[in-house]
Amino acid sequence: MLQETLRRGKRPVFINLGKDNLLKGTHCVSYELPALPFDYTALAPYITKETLEFHHDKHHAAYINNYNNAVEDTDLDGQPIEAVIKAIAGDASKAGLFNNAAQAWNHSFYWNSIKPNGGGAPTGALADKIAADFGSFENFVTEFKQAAATQFGSGWAWLVLDNGTLKITKTGNADTPIAHGQTPLLTIDVWEHAYYLDYQNRRPDYISTFVEKLANWDFASANYAAAIA
């Protein structure tokens, strides 16, 4: 099921209406690991159950646990995680908190950026906007693949809306577009833990599979619609 998108000023806040909340949290309540929006076997053979178990149950869980421990008893405790990320972005003294908060948020966004029987091309308003800003969907695919493949080391590639224009951006390590005033629509995780068990060093194959078989364009379209509303 798609997310419902609420508005806080110009920024969308994503609330998963699937199996669980993306990041459940209120004042004095710890953020919890969300359930995947699909079964562990649902993405096979493109992403296997083993990869999802390690990626979700170990890596994502660790980021959330580390975040909860780091934010506890600070003046940010109980704040929405997006607000925490924006408040401390660029503050070297809070790099550990930022990294875990951003990785917790990024991973929740990534799980919703993929789905069984995904891939292909978007339709409707987002398709029109991609054609307008990139020249064609094919041009977008080429640029997106290049960004994801050339992200040195760990990181992410994103389709974002930035001041009314669709752009492709890549972020290193835990960095995230929401720390830079951009609205993310879709992301691919290119940390090795996202693909190495299934693709080893063949990152380009994983990226092509994401585009052709996994990308959740319904999610991206909903994010775009909310951003321009």
Q: Could you tell me the pTM of the whole model? A: 0.87
Q: What CATH number is given for 3-32+47-113 in this structure?
A: 1.10.287.990
Task: Assign domain 124-228 to its CATH superfamily.
Answer: Iron/manganese superoxide dismutase, C-terminal domain (3.55.40.20)
- Continuous segment of H or E residues that includes residue 156: strand 155-162
Burial of 114 (0-12, 13-18, 19+ CB in 10 A): buried
At 10-56, the pLDDT tens digits run: 333 333 323 333 333 334 457 899 999 999 999 999 999 999 999 99
Q: How far apart are CA 174 and CA 156, in angstroms?
A: 8
Q: What are phi and psi of 36, to 5 degrees?
A: -60, 145
**What is the distance in angstroms between the CA of the first residue and the CA of the last residue of the chain?**
20
Q: How far apart are CA 42 and CA 40, in angstroms?
A: 6
Which residue ranges make up each domain of the chain? 3-32+47-113, 124-228
198 is in an annotated binding site: no
At 177-225, the pLDDT tens digits run: 999 999 999 999 999 999 999 999 999 999 999 999 999 999 999 999 9
55 is in an annotated binding site: yes
Which among 82, 56, 47, 55 has a CA at the least distance from the CA of 183? 82
Residue recorded with tokens 């990024």: 106
60 is in an annotated binding site: no
27 is in an annotated binding site: no
Q: How far apart are CA 197 and CA 181, in angstroms?
A: 34
* Helix 61-71 and helix 95-113, axial crossing angle in degrees, nearest 10: 140
At 59-115, the pLDDT tens digits run: 999 999 999 999 998 999 999 999 999 999 999 999 999 999 999 999 999 999 999
Q: How far apart are CA 16 and CA 202, in angstroms?
A: 31
